[in-house]
């Protein structure tokens, strides 16, 4: 094992500005969820992602679940889901009582293949849940055409995609609803958290009630001249983001352009170093999209043992991991589908360090370590 300081796979960029924002919330006395800091963030985030409305949530999983609830998903329904994703996407469909049906993926950018989606539609299909894998949006014009043709809704899982664009449109503005994540490895983060965004006021208003046990959040009753006593008409949940986290997220929004620039600089250096290296393929950024590089994932040649390669890299103090999951292979869903592209890449993908804090020396070390670890 290397005695050098490890080069970590992912790392948030936070500092004195976030601490000052948290201190301001402490002084305000409103630390709970769905307060003034949340509302400020929602207004700013909606503008950045190109939608009319945004709702902060406790995490992306709760945003996905709330979105499915307000879209009317029910037991017996089928939802087509891009297969190559952390299983939170499929889990949300199960939690809503429906059945996830997984679509195979494009071999180059790993998002759901429109042809696979179209082939899976049945009379029970109600919508398409498309994933922006590693942050790069999928083929949303094609997804929208399929959804409109068959009378389906379209939901974007943009967990990794803050700052990404598709044909000059920001991730978040590409579907009927979009869910984002602010987990610690994402491009902007409060450690945890999420958001649900849409142009449809009815969907976000309904989600806002559901995320506070089925009633309007307390801030909507501030300053009332009467004594409002909310009534509960619908089963809801506690999926609120705290104002402490929202204060951090407001600073993270200020940082977003610089964070994206730093990640893109690292990705460029990785491309230049790895694109002609035998045994590896670099990730593809399509010309009509801007990739936020939430992760940098190499594809290892079939003849190379990906797991053994990863262990050799880790032994030198450089963190790495598999890419993400071929969801249809996870036991919770039952092995009912055969999706060869997703299954193949699940076995061959290797994620290397990617975050905005990487120094030139650390990038050099990652490049040198990966190159040396490849079999000669």
For residue 326, what are the contacts with CB-CB under 8 A and spacing of at least 6? 83, 84, 339, 342, 343, 345, 346
For residue 325, what are the contacts with CB-CB under 8 A and spacing of at least 6? 84, 85, 86, 87, 346
- In which residue ranges of the chain is CATH 3.40.640.10 found? 16-254
* CATH class given for the domain over 256-373: alpha beta
Is 186 an active-site residue? yes
Q: Which residue has the tokens 């610089």?
A: 258
Alpha helices by DSSP H, the chain: 16-28, 36-49, 60-70, 88-95, 114-120, 140-150, 201-210, 243-274, 306-315, 340-348, 360-373
**Cβ–Cβ under 8 Å, residues 60 and 85:** no
pLDDT in tens, the chain (376 residues): 567 899 999 999 999 999 999 999 999 999 999 899 999 999 999 999 999 999 999 999 999 999 999 999 999 999 999 999 999 999 999 999 999 999 999 999 999 999 999 999 999 999 999 999 999 999 999 999 999 999 999 999 999 999 999 999 999 999 999 999 999 999 999 999 999 999 999 999 999 999 999 988 877 766 667 788 888 999 999 999 999 999 999 999 999 999 999 999 999 999 999 999 999 999 999 999 999 999 999 999 999 999 999 999 999 999 999 999 999 999 999 978 999 999 999 999 999 999 999 999 999 999 999 999 999 8
The CATH-assigned architecture of domain 16-254 is 3-Layer(aba) Sandwich (3.40)
* pLDDT of amino acid 1: 58
Instruction: Give the torsion through C-alpha atoms of 355, 57, 196, 20, to 10 deg.
Output: -50
C-alpha pair distances (Å), 137 with each of 28, 63, 148, 342: 38, 18, 19, 17
DSSP state of 237: -
User: What b/e string do you get for 321-339 counting C-beta neighbours within 10 Å, with b at 16 or more?
Assistant: bbbbbbbbbeeebeeebeb
From the list 74, 149, 167, 186, the catalytic residue is: 186
- In which residue ranges of the chain is CATH 3.90.1150.10 found? 256-373
Write the pLDDT tens digit of every residue in 229-254.
888 999 999 999 999 999 999 999 99
């Amino acid at each position: 094992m290397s005695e050098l300081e490890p080069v970590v796979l992912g790392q948030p960029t936070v500092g004195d500005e976030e601490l000052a924002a948290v201190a301001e919330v402490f002084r305000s006395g409103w630390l709970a969820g769905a307060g003034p800091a949340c509302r400020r963030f929602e207004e700013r985030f909606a503008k950045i992602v190109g939608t009319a409305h945004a709702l902060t949530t406790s995490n992306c999983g709760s945003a996905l679940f709330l979105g499915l609830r307000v879209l009317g998903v029910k037991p017996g329904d089928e939802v087509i889901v891009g297969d190559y994703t952390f299983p939170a996407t499929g889990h949300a469909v199960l939690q809503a009582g429906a059945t996830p049906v997984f679509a195979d993926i494009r071999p180059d950018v790993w998002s759901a293949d429109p042809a696979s989606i179209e082939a899976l539609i049945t009379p029970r299909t109600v919508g398409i849940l498309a994933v922006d894998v590693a942050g790069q949006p999928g083929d949303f014009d094609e997804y929208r055409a399929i959804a409109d043709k068959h009378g389906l809704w379209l939901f974007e899982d943009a967990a990794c995609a803050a700052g990404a664009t598709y044909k000059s449109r920001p991730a978040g503005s590409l579907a009927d609803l979009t869910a984002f994540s602010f987990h610690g490895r994402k491009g902007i983060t409060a450690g945890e958290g999420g958001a649900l965004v849409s142009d449809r006021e009815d969907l976000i208003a309904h989600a806002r009630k559901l995320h506070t046990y089925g009633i309007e959040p307390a801030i909507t009753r501030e300053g009332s001249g009467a004594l409002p006593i909310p009534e509960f008409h619908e089963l809801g949940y506690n999926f609120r983001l705290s104002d402490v986290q929202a204060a951090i997220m407001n600073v993270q929004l200020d940082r977003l352009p610089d964070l994206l620039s730093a990640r893109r600089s690292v990705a460029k250096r990785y491309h230049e170093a790895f694109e002609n290296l035998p045994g590896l393929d670099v990730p593809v950024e399509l010309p009509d999209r801007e990739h936020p590089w939430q992760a940098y994932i190499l594809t290892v040649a079939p003849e190379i043992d990906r797991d053994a390669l990863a262990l050799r890299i880790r032994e030198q103090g450089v963190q790495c991991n598999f890419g993400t999951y071929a969801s249809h292979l996870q036991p919770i869903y039952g092995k009912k589908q055969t999706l060869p592209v997703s299954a193949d890449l699940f076995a061959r993908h290797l994620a290397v360090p990617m975050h905005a804090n990487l120094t030139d020396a650390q990038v050099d070390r990652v490049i040198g370590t990966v190159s040396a670890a490849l079999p000669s």
